[in-house]
Structure 1
Amino acid sequence: MQALLTGIATTLLLLLNTLILIGPMLAIALLKLILPGQRLRDACSRGVMWIAEAWAENCKRVFAVFTPTRWDIRGGDGLRNDTSYLVISNHQSWVDIPALVQAFNRKAPYFKFFLKKELIWVPFLGLAFWALDYPFMKRYSKAFLDKHPEMKGKDLEITRAACEKFKRMPVTVVNYLEGTRFTPVKHANQGSPYRHLLKPKAGGVAFVLAALGQQLDAILDVTLVYPGQGVPGFWALLSGQVPQVIVDIQTRPLDPALWQGDYENDGEFRQYVQAWVSDLWQEKDARISELRAQSQG
């Protein structure tokens, strides 16, 4: 009963926070569509981001008051709001998003996620995602692409177009290299060589690096671990059933060699980026094992 009451209270307060702030956010976003001049439109974009940060901060307060979750944030010192970052993270649950908010809101520029196209239809949040200029990606199955080869590369085109917008102000771009949430079934079907991760996809991050490399200050390598439990669902967080979340942040310098080549047409450069991603993922897999062992000890 306690978990149910906690979940209801937390849900209602988060919904209220969203209802109060989504109106001003959408008003500014619509204003951006009609105002002349890039400077005015960029000012509207900054206004939308300010509201989003206020919304996220209110969400943090709700979780702090109503849930016992301990957000164990390690690293991430010296972050700034006036520069851009690329966040690379493993992905297991919807709880991953609040975890990133806890770690980075108002410490780094507000997030830009690459989202599944279907999420635009989520009540309230879909409109907020649109207002925030989140790129919506349409994923196609291998069987579909075999029948419709003209659709290959569409996601990368969206990535390239989105990154052009990101160039005009500081931004934190979040890239889930696995492309989907980890599950044991997906892990088995892939035959993943990693113990805790799905196979990474290098193409998306390669295009983000190519478009924003000069603008990015660093790569924030985030490893999320839920110790002492299985991967929790979002209701578990809302109802106070997630005791601890580890957010491990390693700030990595950005090697210019990662964005100074042509990923599409240069095979040698493509292999270089893929090897870098593979090394990063091997280190992350080992890091997850280490963090889990520490939490159990």
Structure 2
Amino acid sequence: MLGFLPPFVRGALSFLVLAVNTLFWCLLLFALALVKFCLPFEGVLKRLDPLINATASAWTKCNSLWMRFAHRTDWSVEGVQSLRYNDWYLVNCNHQSWVDIFVLQDALNGRIPVLKFFLKAELIYVPVIGLAWWALDFPFMKRHSRAALRKNPDLRNDDRDAARKACAKFAKVPTSVMNFVEGTRFTAEKHQTQASPYQHLLKPKAGAMAMALNAMGAQFHSLVDATIAYPDGIPSFWQYLCGQSPRVMLHVQQLDIPLEFCTGDYENDRALRKSFHRWLDDIWKQKDATLQDMLQRAA
């Protein structure tokens, strides 16, 4: 435990260990990615993809080790016992900080397959990590402005096609598709600007989840609905590295996914779209109540 060190020193050491850990596993991942790029044949990929996913899982395990060594964070995790590693899951979570990703990876690693995120297309150019995301088959989505979509509605097909291509690969190996339905991190300012009807959440955006369900929804075992609470205040990534996040709470529940959302046409079926939004709104109301209960229990 490094709790006796000043926060800045803990943060610097944590960042250094994170960087070294990332570079070490990325070097192995890049070697596998090179083989994947040069030999994109189904027989090769069938053997290669599990190794690539295992490398990402090992990176996460090492992150968990140094976080527990460097920090005195009190973890409270509920509802993960019934998850199975060899199933397909759609994972949904509220979004408050970049720390959320580390929390989810720490709590779910080894219980469900490696989390795969929908990412902005520009992130593929991030040094080191961008290539790692490509090797792991993360879906890269182009985010078009409303003006561009009004001018050329066919641009909507870009994200849909990208999601379907990615999910076609996911169908071959057990996968967890991760989605932050709010689309951005929660802040009081965003909450007020949206006039959000929820106390602790921003309004959910249905598009990415609908695309994932349309692409491979029938294969998902369930929706893993995760709720994260930081009773002592939402930490920035730097504060988390410094060990200034005393308590982290995570509540997980599995929800059935209605079959019609997996087989229907979300874009063109207005009745189905309304039904999907009602379903998501019910989930969000329950999540808001769960988050309020978690914060009250921790007070």
TM range (shorter): over 0.9
RMSD of the alignment, in Å? Answer: 1.6
Aligned partner of 1:14 among 5, 10, 18:
18
Moved more, 136-145 or 103-112: 136-145
Give the structure 2 partner of residue 203 of structure 1.
207
Give the 5 Å matches for 1:46-125: 46-125=50-129
Given that 2:80 and 2:111 are in contact with CA atoms closer than 8 Å, whether structure 1 keeps it comes out as: no
**1:140 counterpart (137, 144, 157):** 144
2:263 maps to which of 260, 265, 268 = 260
Please point out which of 215, 235, 239 is paired with 1:232. Answer: 235
1:148 Cα deviation after fit: 4.4
What is the TM-score normalised by the length of structure 1? 0.94
In structure 2, C-alpha distance between the alignment counterparts of 1:122 and 1:34, rounded to whole Å? 22
> Does the C-alpha gap of structure 1 residues 213 and 36 become closer, same or farther in structure 2, counting only changes over 3 Å?
closer
Q: TM-score if structure 2 supplies the norm length? A: 0.94
Which 4+ runs in 1 deviate beyond 4 A? none
Match of 2:169 among 154, 165, 172: 165
Partner Cα separation in structure 2 for residue 265 and residue 141 of structure 1: 21
Amino acid aligned to 1:213 = G
User: Matched residues in 1 for 2:266 and 2:104: separation?
Assistant: 29
Structure 2 CA distance for aligned equivalents of residues 24 and 99 of structure 1:
24
CA displacement 1:180-229 (0-9 Å, x = unmatched): 11122222222211111111111221121122222111111100111022
Kept in 2, the 8 Å contact 1:156–1:203? The answer is no
Deviations, residues 246-266 of structure 1 (Å, cap 9, x unaligned): 111011223323313111221
For 1:187, the equivalent position in structure 2 comes to: 191
Q: Report the CA distance shift for 1:148/1:185 in structure 2 as closer, same or farther (over 3 A).
A: farther
Q: Is the 8 A contact 2:32 2:48 kept in 1?
A: yes
Separation in 1, partners of 2:194, 2:283: 19
| Equivalent residue for 1:272, pick from 250, 275, 282 | 275
Q: Quick check: 269-278 or 258-267, which moved more?
A: 258-267
Q: Residues 29 and 45 of structure 1 are in contact (CA less than 8 Å); yes or no, is this contact kept in structure 2?
A: no
Asked if 1:30 is matched to 2:31, the reply is no
Provide the aligned length of Structure 1 versus Structure 2. 295
Q: 1:185 to 1:144 in 2, by over 3 A?
A: farther
Match of 1:248 in 2: 251
Q: Is the 8 A contact 1:71 1:99 kept in 2?
A: no
In the other structure, the counterpart of 2:293 is 290
Q: Offset at 1:273?
A: 0.9
Cα 1:6–1:36 shift into 2, 3 Å: closer
**Residues 47-74 of structure 1 deviation map (CA, whole Å, 9 limit, x = unaligned):** 1111110010000000010111222111
For the residue of structure 1 that corresponds to 2:221, the secondary structure is: strand
- CA shift for structure 1 position 161: 2.0
Indicate the SS of the match to 1:273: helix
Match of 2:284 among 281, 286, 289: 281
- Measured in 2, the distance between the counterparts of 1:100 and 1:108 equals 11
Unaligned runs of 5+ in 1: none
8 A Cα contact 2:232 2:245, kept in partner? no
Residues 1:184 and 1:148: Cα distance change in structure 2 (over 3 Å): farther
Q: 1:37 deviation in Å?
A: 3.0
**Aligned equivalents of 1:234, 1:272: Cα separation in 2:** 37
Cα shift at 1:119: 2.4
d(CA) in 2 for partners of 1:51 and 1:97?
A: 17
Match of 2:48 in 1: 44
2:17 partner SS = helix
In 2 relative to 1, CA 245–120 (structure 1 residues): closer, same or farther, beyond 3 Å?
A: same
